[in-house]
Structures are given as structure tokens and as C-alpha cells.
């Protein structure tokens, strides 16, 4: 295992300490229990948006904490859900009196723990709404979850719900737009290599030199099939067709596209992927009106990519374009 | 070789086409010869800032084209200098009447070709200044160059010179601040794995499972030594000590720090590196006043990192903080 870490037991804490040292103007880190909140939390009168999940997907979620996106992120151990206690403490730290939205990727542990945290918060009189993200079309039911997994749409949901909250919208409305993002998003990914969990020390799965895993999850859990490595253009087709067929996306649709690297994939390759995605969607009469190209929701050191499409309208675009200031996303 | 590409011969062109499709509001791509210019080029009366070099270091340089940074980037084939013709055509495309600054990483091919391009431009009556970046303290003379290599400081030089040009400073002043950035910057990197050049199809060098290369160049050329893999904290010390000793940086110095991933290194690990860097510099009485943590100047799919420090003053910070709008860097 070749990683820039010290002891596997310390990697999450040390990464959080590094994050805190790097972005003192944007966020604050609490270590026991572990959570990250925006520097000016709690913002009185504003709905707070909170997410979390296992570590190893950075910048998700901690890198999206800041003005216009998440008020709080709860990082669990690598690929392991954070505890209800982490979520509850973070909830109290960001609650500004207008309620808290939980954005929950659909993994069994996360779902259960966020439910318990919501109960704890309710018992303290904090109003909570939860939105489940389950955009991965590759498989239903897998090693980590029942139903579809939550993947790339999480980034889009956090940005757009964060903007709605920042604009002063009430909790029900923020939750509603977050649900809308999930309903209109679809994703799928492939892996060229496995990832290696620090505690485990060897790759999660074996993949031959000429093989790839199609429909991979973000923890290295199996996807739809293992097939011979293809040229990038064919890989993009294998991702786009199931995504488009599932919603379905239709001619005339304006979409936001996320071309996401899984952690060890260079930007040069993501541009090659974007090129084909653009061409395929254009041929289908769809138009990419906004895009993110980068490693936004990763699986440690996995090589591969995923594609997420979100059907947009003017309101979603307005929220997408709203200013954001986090370690990983900044504009406006 | 597992890459998201089609044919090795097409990867640079296809990545440029993807870049063009993704960022039509920011930049325009010209394919024969290949160069990228900001969407509103040429900007009349403004000094134009141009850089370039072999592909495979993305986002450098193409991802830094846009308002407040580069007017043009010339991408060569992977790890191979662009031609004087590319540079000359790009120069003419961005020249707004106030001259053009060439930012040249110190590699033999780049230096020679930028010199020829400067001659061609002069013959057309375009005033050109060139600044050589050579911040790598690891080695003098190597496979690709005589003297020190140009690495991480290039990103800082492009941002700061770009801001000076955007502010309307004349060519001599823009070149001067660019030279100042180089003079006050020092870098060093390590590799945990080799990279694989698409045309070659196998790793550039072999590195054992328990080995790392210290002082690596950005093309996989050898560094200072090959040693046993260490914990991240020791690796950071091995990078920081030579950097600090070389300028030398001194107690009381305010620095801008770049913690850079080499292409296949996840952000989680870069945060662990940043943590130790912060601690070491604090112990030396230095203060990190600005930072970049990410994969900013890469070596294809190499795993590893580099550290760059720039001694700052108020003027450099003002230019650093000035608005920038490129695919890879955006703020203000």
C-alpha cells in the first residue's frame, strides 16, 4: 500500500486537522466527535444544510462546507458511516433557528444513523427534514445498501440546497428543491482499478490488466459487470445510455453534467470523457448548460470516472449559479 | 496501461476538444497548430501572458487560461515541448498591442522553442519578455534540462503575472513581478509510483512496493534518491527542509504554500501533507498566509506530491487575491 499517510488509524483525524489548518476563514473542525462547520456557524434565521458519510470520498463532504453550500459535514471513518452522535452534535452547532436539512446518501449505515440523529434533534426541538440521494442507475441493492446508491447527485444537491438555504428559503422549500435535484439526476460509474482502504492495506478487489468494472459503487463494491477494457468513447457510451434511458432524459432537455474522477484519474482523461459526453448528448438533442469536470466524489485512490446528469430548469440554474465559497467549489 | 483514452495519438487533441466543449465562455481552442486562448482575446491595450509546455501536467497550462491568469497556453504532445509555430500563432492571437510575456518552465526543449517564438514575434514587431521558472531545489541538470527544473512555482507565477497584466501594468512590470515570484519560490516533490506515457504504454520507471523517489521531476525523470517508503510526516520533512534551506526562508516569513498532487493522489492524502507542512513551518516561525491544496501541476497518473513555498509581501498577496476565472482556478 503506497499512500501519503502516517498510521491508518490516524488518517481521518489528520486530514481533518490539515483541512482546518488550510481553510481557517471558511470552516472550523471539531474533532471529538468529528464534524466540520462553516466558520460563521450558526447563521441565525437560516436553514442549515448538513451532510456526511464515510471518509475517502473527498472533497465530498468536508470540502463542500462553506457559504452557499453545506453548513456542516460529518466524516465517518473511511467508507464507514459517521455516528448519530456526530450528526447530532453537528446539528446543534449549525442550527440557527430555522431547522436543519440532512442530505443522506442511500447507504444502509448512513440512513440508519441519520434517522437516529433526526430523532435526537427532534427531541431537542430542532426541526429536521431528510432527503435521500439515490441516483446511481447501475444496480439496485448492493453490498452497502438496499435500493439505489447515492453518488454524484449528492454534490449537485448540496450545492443547490445550500444556495436555497443561503437565499433564505424555509426548510420545506430547501428540502423540496433538494428532492427535486435527486429526482432529476442519474449517475453511473466505471473503475479501471480498485481502491485500497488504509486499514485493509490491499486492494478491495482484483481487476485484471485488461479489465474494468462497469457500474462500480463508490466503495469499490461490485457493479453491473466486469468487461474488457474499452476505448474511452465506448466507456462513455456505456455510462450515458443507461443514464439517459432511466429518467428518461429527452430531446430538448437542458442538463447539468458532472464528469467525475474517482480519485486517481488525471484531468487530461476527464477532458477526453467530457468530449464524448458532449457529442453524445448533442446527438440526442440535449444541451449541457452547466458542467463540473473534476474529482468531486471519489473512492480513495480508485482510477475511473462517473457521469451524472441533472435535468435543469431556470430555478435550478439560478441556484447553481449562486455564489459559493468552499475549499472545493468557489465562484460568484 | 489503463487509461480513459482512445488512441494514444489522439489524446491531446481530444482533451483539447473536451476542454473547448466544457468552457466555451472562458476560452477558445485552436487545433492546428494547437493553442488555447481566453474567450475575449486579444484584449486591447493589455499585456498578454502566455505559457506552454508538454501535455500531461493538467490543469497546467490550459486549465489556467482565462480572465486574470493566462491569455494563452500552448500544449505540446505529452511531455514534449510545443513548437515555436504554436507559440508564435498563439502570440499573434492574444497580442493586444501592449506586448506579450512568455512564462517558460526550464526544460531544454521549451527554452529553445520559446526563444525561437520570441524571435518570430519580434520580427513581426511584437514586444516579448520571457521569464524562466526554475524553482525545483531537488537537482541541477537532469534528463530534461540544464539547471533547475521549473515546477510548482509556474502556477503561482501564472496567477500573479496574470493579475498584474489584468490590472493594466506594462510589460516590464509584469515580467518583473513574474521574475520575483520565481526568485522567491522553491519546490520539491516525491513520487510513490511512476506515470505511464500513453505512447509508451508502460511505466516510465520501476519503483518497488516499498520504495519512493525523492526529488522527482514532473516527467518521471529521476530525483535525488530512491529510498524506503516513509510515513507522510517524514516525507513532508524531507521536502520542507531542502526548500527552506535553499532560499533560505527565515523566521518571520509569510509564505504562500502549494501542496500539489501529482495526478493520482487523493485529496485526503494532500490534507495529511498540509497538516504536517503547517506544523513544520509554524515551528520555524513562518506563517502560511495563502494556500492551494490540490492537483495543480501533475505528471499524468503519477502518485505523489510536491510542496512549493513562495515568500510573500503585500503586493504579491494583492495580486494573488485578485479575481481569476479559469477552468481550474476561480475566485473573487
Pick the CATH number of A8-183 from 1.10.357.10, 3.40.50.1580, 3.40.50.300, 3.40.50.10440: 3.40.50.10440
- A298: closest chain B residue by CA: B266
Considering only A316-325, B95-104, B200-209, which range has the smallest mean pLDDT? B200-209
**Closest Cβ–Cβ partner in B3, B7, B303 for A2:** B303
pLDDT at residue B145, as a whole number: 82
Does position B288 have pLDDT exceeding 80, yes or no? yes
Per-residue pLDDT band for A144 (boundaries 50, 70, 90) equals confident
CA A277 from centroid of its chain's CA atoms: 20
Cβ within 8 Å, pair A275-B330? no
CB B83 within 8 Å of CB B31: no
| Interval A61-94: pLDDT, tens | 999 999 999 999 999 999 999 999 999 999 999 9
The whole-chain average pLDDT of chain A stands at 97
Question: What is the Cα–Cα distance from B123 to B230, expressed in whole angstroms?
Answer: 53
Mean pLDDT of B242-267: 98
At B222 the pLDDT is 83
Is the confidence at residue A303, as pLDDT, over 90?
yes
Nearest Cα residue to B107 out of B32, B31, B56: B56
Residue A40 confidence (pLDDT) above 80: yes
Q: For the residues A164-184, what does the mean pLDDT come to?
A: 98
Task: Give yes or no for residue A115 having a pLDDT over 80.
Answer: yes
Q: Is the pLDDT of residue A143 over 80?
A: no
Position B221 scores a pLDDT of 86
pLDDT of residue A220: 87
Cell numbers for B140: 541541477
- Residue A183 near residue A313 (C-beta atoms within 8 A): no
Residue A235: list chain B partners with CB under 8 A. Answer: 4
Predicted TM-score (pTM) of the model is 0.97
Known catalytic residue at B30: no
Query: What does the pLDDT look like over B202-252, one tens digit per residue?
Result: 999 989 999 999 999 999 888 899 999 999 999 999 999 999 999 999 999
pLDDT-based confidence at residue B273 (cuts at 50, 70, 90): very high
- What does the pLDDT average to over B11-17? 98
Q: Work out the mean pLDDT of chain B and round it to a whole number.
A: 97
Whether residue A208 has pLDDT greater than 80: yes
CA distance A231 to chain B (A): 5
Whether B61 is catalytic is no
Q: Which residues of A163-196 are buried (b: 16+ CB within 10 A; e: fewer)?
A: bbbbeebebeebbbbbbbbbebbbbbbbbbbbbb
Mean pLDDT score, A310-320: 98
Residue among A21, A58, A266 whose CB faces B275 most closely: A21
The pLDDT value recorded for residue A293 is 98
Q: Does residue B141 register a pLDDT over 80?
A: no
Which residues on adjacent β-strands are paired with residue A55? A78
Average pLDDT over residues A260-287: 98
Q: Kindly give the pairing relationship between strand A100-105 and strand A185-191.
A: unpaired
Contact A89, A52 (CB under 8 A): no
Residue A6 is predicted with a pLDDT of 98
Is the predicted pLDDT of residue B144 greater than 80, yes or no? Answer: no
Contact present, B34 and B151 (Cβ < 8 Å):
no
Given an 8 Å threshold on Cβ–Cβ distance, is B268 in contact with A11?
A: yes
Higher pLDDT, A221 or A117: A117
Q: Give the pairing of strands B48-55 and A225-228.
A: unpaired
- B143 — pLDDT class (breaks 50, 70, 90): confident
pLDDT at residue A269 greater than cutoff 80: yes
In a mutational test of the A interface, the residue from B195, B266, B273 whose CB has the highest number of chain A CBs within 10 Å is: B266
Distance CA(B57)–CA(B42), nearest Å, equals 25
How many angstroms away from the CA of B134 is the closest CA of chain A? 24
Q: Domain spans of chain B?
A: 8-183, 185-320
Closest residue to B274, CB basis, from A18, A272, A273:
A18
Q: How far is A276 from chain B (nearest CA, A)?
A: 8
Indicate whether B166 pLDDT > 80: yes
Complex ipTM more than 0.90, yes or no? yes
Say what the pLDDT of residue A142 is. 77
Residues in chain B within 8 Å Cβ distance of A303 = 2, 264, 301
- Residue A139: per-residue pLDDT: 86
For domain B185-320, the CATH architecture is 2-Layer Sandwich (3.30)
Chain-chain contact of B272 with A4 (C-beta, under 8 angstroms): yes
A175 has pLDDT over 90: yes
Amino acid at each position: 500500500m503506497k499512500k501519503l499517510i502516517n498510521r491508518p488509524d490516524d488518517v481521518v483525524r489528520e486530514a481533518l486537522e490539515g483541512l482546518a489548518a488550510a481553510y481557517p476563514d471558511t470552516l472550523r473542525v471539531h474533532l471529538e466527535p468529528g464534524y466540520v462547520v462553516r466558520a460563521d456557524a450558526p447563521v441565525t434565521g437560516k436553514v442549515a444544510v448538513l451532510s456526511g458519510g464515510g471518509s475517502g470520498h473527498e472533497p465530498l463532504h468536508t470540502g463542500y462546507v462553506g457559504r452557499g453550500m453545506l453548513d456542516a459535514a460529518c466524516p465517518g471513518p473511511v467508507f464507514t458511516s459517521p455516528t448519530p452522535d456526530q450528526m447530532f452534535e453537528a446539528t446543534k452547532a449549525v442550527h440557527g433557528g430555522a431547522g436543519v436539512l440532512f442530505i443522506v446518501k442511500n447507504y444502509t449505515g448512513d440512513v440508519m444513523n441519520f434517522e437516529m440523529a433526526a430523532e435526537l434533534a427532534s427531541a431537542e426541538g430542532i426541526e429536521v427534514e431528510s432527503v435521500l440521494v439515490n441516483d446511481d442507475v447501475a444496480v439496485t441493492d448492493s453490498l452497502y445498501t438496499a435500493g439505489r446508491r447515492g453518488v454524484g447527485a449528492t454534490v449537485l444537491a448540496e450545492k443547490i440546497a445550500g444556495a436555497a438555504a443561503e437565499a433564505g428559503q424555509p426548510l420545506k422549500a430547501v428540502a423540496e428543491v433538494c428532492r427535486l435535484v435527486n429526482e432529476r439526476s442519474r449517475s453511473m460509474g466505471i473503475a479501471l482499478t480498485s481502491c485500497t482502504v488504509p486499514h485493509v492495506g490491499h486492494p478491495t478487489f482484483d481487476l485484471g490488466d485488461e479489465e474494468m468494472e462497469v457500474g462500480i459503487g463508490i466503495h469499490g463494491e461490485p457493479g453491473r459487470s466486469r468487461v474488457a477494457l474499452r476505448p474511452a468513447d465506448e466507456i462513455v457510451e456505456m455510462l450515458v445510455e443507461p443514464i439517459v434511458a432511466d429518467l428518461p432524459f429527452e430531446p430538448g432537455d437542458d442538463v447539468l453534467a458532472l464528469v467525475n474522477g474517482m480519485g486517481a484519474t488525471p484531468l487530461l482523461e476527464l477532458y477526453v470523457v467530457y468530449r464524448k459526453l458532449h457529442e453524445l448528448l448533442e446527438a440526442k438533442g440535449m444541451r449541457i448548460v452547466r458542467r463540473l469536470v473534476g474529482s468531486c466524489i471519489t473512492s480513495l485512490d480508485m482510477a475511473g470516472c462517473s457521469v451524472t446528469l441533472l435535468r435543469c430548469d431556470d430555478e435550478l440554474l439560478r441556484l447553481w449559479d449562486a455564489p459559493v465559497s468552499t475549499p472545493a467549489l468557489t465562484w460568484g
